[in-house]
Amino acid sequence: MKVSALLTSAGINIGLCVLLWFLYSILRKQPGNVCVYFGRRLAQGRIGFDNPICFDRLFPSPSWIVKAWATSEEEILAVGGLDAVVFLRILVFSIRIFSIAAVVCLLLVLPLNYFGQEMIHKQIPSESLDVFTIANVKEGSRWLWAHCLALYIISFSACLLLYFEYRSIAKLRLAHITKSSPNPSHFTILVRSIPWSAEESYGDSVKKFFMNYHASSYLSHQMVYHSGTIQKLMDDAEKMYKKLAELKNTAANQMCEPSLVRCGLCGEMTNSFKLLANEAESVHDKEKPVLDQLKSDLKEKESGAAFVFFKTRYAAIVASHVLQSPNPMLWVTDLAPGPHDVYWSNLWIPYRQLWIRKIATLVAATVFMFLFLIPVTFVQGLSQLDQLQQMLPFLKGLLKKKFVDEVVTGYLPSVILMLFLLSVPPMMMLFSAIEGNISRSGRKRSACCKVLYFLIWNVFFVNVLSGSVISQINAISSPKDIPTQLAKVVPRQATFFMTYVLTSGWVGLSSEVMQLYALICNFFNRYILWKKEVSPDYILSFPYHTEVPKVLLFGLLGFTCSILAPLILPFLLVYYFLGYIVYRNQFLNVYVTKYESGGQFWPIAHNTTIFSLVLSQIIAIGVFGLKRSPIASGFTFPLVILTLLFNEYCRQRFFPIFKSYSAQDFIEMDRQDEASGRMEEIYEQLLSAYCQFSAASTENFKTQDSVRSDGNHDSEDMNSGEAAICMRKLWMLQCISGKEDDNKH
């Protein structure tokens, strides 16, 4: 590929980007698109729909860029949570390290590459891009120490920056935990695999177990019901309610005060309905068989999982960490996810299935990863013009035209690849859901890892290896040859990666800011279906599982290509700068944060960066070997070891903070709350925090959104009307079963 082809590609992409940003600047001002571009504000009710039509609406303005740029980290933290801050920190880290890399490589390495061979240079535009890569350096050149030095500088700066980032994010996480308002998940554990017994229900077993072994700290519990049966139960309750309504006319009128509404199908319903106890006596005889029926129904629907609430955070963390039963497959405890973070439909999965589910999804994801080779190899074929001509001989005339040539080699392959890649995140989300994650954030994190492995394998390795070898499987099976093989082909594939940054990176960002899919849906709804009301389905949570891997993949490309083909770095820097603006804007305006993982994406980013560093060092060793510079090769070895040691140190020093909470923090928090007398209030909130019901009733909503191309089907906002119905049904159900419970006590 020639410089002019690259410039053409860059030109097309810059044009596309400018066009899209221009369009965005106008479209965002249209009142009809409010639900597309201001979902978050809409959810908070902080924006109106009907702005007056004014002249300003028809002109683009860069004010949003200024706004996104000027927003402080505190605001982002308040708006998007810690995960958003961590994501932006990944971008900032990338900008910093690639700025350093760009300075070092463009000043030191690029000239050496360009003047590496004694040759007559053509004019720059018609120069091959290979001239700018390390492939142009003579074998046995003495100047390779400069490449080695550049690698050292990049590696050391990267480690230093990583260390400071890890430290500061760990601090942020600790502050986030200790300084936030009381979080129900800190007081709650999820117990799974409750042993089944013929004599007592799951609920009674839970109560008995925790009253026995954790008597001093046990507060209450809430059973998890088999998903799907809830709806049926609610229908039953409604019928029952109608029957009872007639009976109740003879009884006291205050019964079932709406003010008693409490969320959650708690097994422990002793508090809420005390006032019913006396008044209901009279109706009791008549309704008894009906109630008994309902109660036994309810007990039958209980699954072997429950949320258990504790009086202190420390008690909860203790119960979640310690092996409860001598049979490790029973009474399995974990800290509960946050109320909005719970992935209800996975909770009732029998615990003994989980390990086999994990293995099965791992195998499925791996198979998917390898089957994906087929379209990618095809795409790779497209980028090699002569192969395309052979395959489709009738195109010969067309392909000989210079412009078409440049478009095909520089642009088309990446676009096709990108389209294929769009199908990956939903697949991985599906795998992660089947895997049995108990939290939405856990599912997203798991999908994030899967997408990341997928991208690294399919975009980097397969492209690199299939560029030279047809059967990639051979490549994995001889690990010894991989460095040499990579060293041979990575510099050659650098041009492909540059175009990949342009298409997938730049244009990807622009389409992210445009929200094309949501925009089209909105247009369709408004002007084809003539729906006037704004549906809140578009209010999405941030797709970390697609964006984090993307950003990290570009990091991988940057590190591996930096000393081999430094020309990629300016393109990459532009990508990261654009990303910084775009994602800040999106966090502020578009996405809603309903749940978060508390910065747990950072360890993924850290590990991936270390992997990228080590990979680039290994490739460098291979390259130095090929260039017959054993000294440079030898000097790079210690760098690999130092990088790995650094990683191990960080794993020891920081990683446990992201895995668990510390006793010291939790005890201090408990003490503060006890001292301020807030505990009672917290307990009350706690008992109504986990609400399987509302989630179940919104399962219907979810499907509307699940077709979205990036697999981001997480919008469980409830329509207020539906919510009201749900609450009413729930209240009825509780009236019925709660009263019965009370009579017993």
Interface contacts to a copy of itself, rule CB under 8 A: 174, 213, 317-318, 321-329, 331, 352, 355-356, 359, 477-481, 645, 648-649, 652-657, 660-665, 667
> What's the closest the beta carbon of residue 732 comes to a copy of itself, in angstroms?
39
For a copy of itself, which is the closer residue by CB, 281 or 481?
A: 481
H helices, E strands: number in the chain = 36, 4
Q: Which is nearer to a copy of itself, 660 or 700 (CB)?
A: 660
Say how far apart CA 259 and CA 270 lie, in whole Å: 16
Q: How far is the CB of 446 from a copy of itself (least distance, A)?
A: 18
Nearest distance from C-beta of residue 630 to a copy of itself, angstroms: 19
Least distance in angstroms from the C-beta of 33 to a copy of itself = 45
Q: Which is nearer to a copy of itself, 324 or 541 (CB)?
A: 324
Residues sharing a CB contact under 8 Å with residue 508, sequence separation 6 or more, in sequence order: 418, 550
The dihedrals phi and psi of 307, each to the nearest 5 degrees, come to: -90, 130
Rg (CA), the chain: 30
CB of 642 to a copy of itself, least distance (A): 12
Buried-state track 114-138, b at ≥16 Cβ within 10 A, e below 16: bebeeeeeeeeeeeebbbbbbbbbe
The answer to whether 211 and 350 have CB atoms below 8 angstroms apart is no
Q: Which two tokens stand for residue 449?
A: 């890892």
Q: CB 690 → a copy of itself: shortest distance, Å? A: 23
Residue number, 329 or 398, with CB nearest to a copy of itself: 329
Q: Which is nearer to a copy of itself, 134 or 354 (CB)?
A: 354
Angle between helices 482-500 and 568-589 (to 10 degrees): 60
Q: Which residues of 15-38 are buried (b: 16+ CB within 10 A; e: fewer)?
A: ebbeebbeebbebbbeeebbbbbb
Closest distance of CB 603 from a copy of itself, Å = 13
Question: Which CB sits closer to a copy of itself, 210 or 497?
Answer: 210
Please give the angle made by the CA atoms of 26, 28 and 33, to the nearest 5 degrees: 120
- Asked whether 157 and 559 are in contact (CB, 8 A), the reply is no
* Whole-angstrom distance, CA of residue 315 vs CA of residue 674: 14
Task: Kindly provide the b/e burial profile for residues 600-629, where b requires at least 16 CB atoms within 10 angstroms of the residue's own CB.
Answer: bbbbbbbbbbbbbbbbbbbbbbbbbbbbeb
Beta carbon nearer to a copy of itself, 174 or 679: 174
Which residue, among 388, 558, 563, 377, has the nearest Cα to 465 in the 3D structure? 377
* Number of Cβ atoms within 10 Å of the Cβ of 674: 13
Looking at beta carbons only, is 212 or 676 nearer to a copy of itself? 212
Residue 344: count of CB within 10 angstroms of its CB: 21
Min CB(470)–a copy of itself separation in Å: 17
- Beta strands across the sheet bearing 188-192: 218-225, 302-310, 188-192, 332-335
CB 144 within 8 A of CB 627: yes
CB of 655 to a copy of itself, least distance (A): 8
| Closest distance of CB 321 from a copy of itself, Å | 4
Of the pair 46, 480, the CB lying nearest a copy of itself is at: 480
Closer residue to a copy of itself (CB): 482 or 718: 482
Strand partners of residue 366: none
